[in-house]
Amino acid sequence: RAVFVNESVCIGCRMCNHSAAKTFMMEQDYGRARAFQQWADSEEDIQIAIDSCPVDCISWVNKKNLPILEYAM
């Protein structure tokens, strides 16, 4: 499995970036979160980031579906 951020829903609160800074970064142009390095933080920290998102734009996805989802973004 992999972590995916639906950037069109993200409000730029930075909660995920604070919880799992090695996995999530803030995209410069629009200020939205992006998962830029899978599994750079512990699974616990990533789950805390997912749980802390106020708009539920972060989720676990099947690893084989990640390229399709990223292409759609």
The string of pLDDT tens digits covering residues 14-34 is 999 999 999 999 999 999 999
- How many other CB atoms sit within 10 Å of the CB of residue 69? 15
- Could you tell me the pTM of the whole model? 0.88
Mean pLDDT across the stretch 4-12? 95
Q: What distance, in Å, lies between the first and last C-alpha atoms of the chain?
A: 19
CATH 3.40.50.720 fits 2-72, yes or no: no
Mean pLDDT across the stretch 63-70? 93
Residue of 16, 6, 15 lying closest to 46 (CA atoms)? 16
Mean pLDDT across the stretch 65-69? 93
CA–CA distances in Å: residue 33 to residues 2, 42, 53: 15, 18, 10
What pLDDT, on a 0 to 100 scale, did the predictor assign at position 73?
80
Yes or no: say if 36 and 24 are a contact pair by the CB < 8 Å rule: yes
Read off the tokens for 46: 């990533």
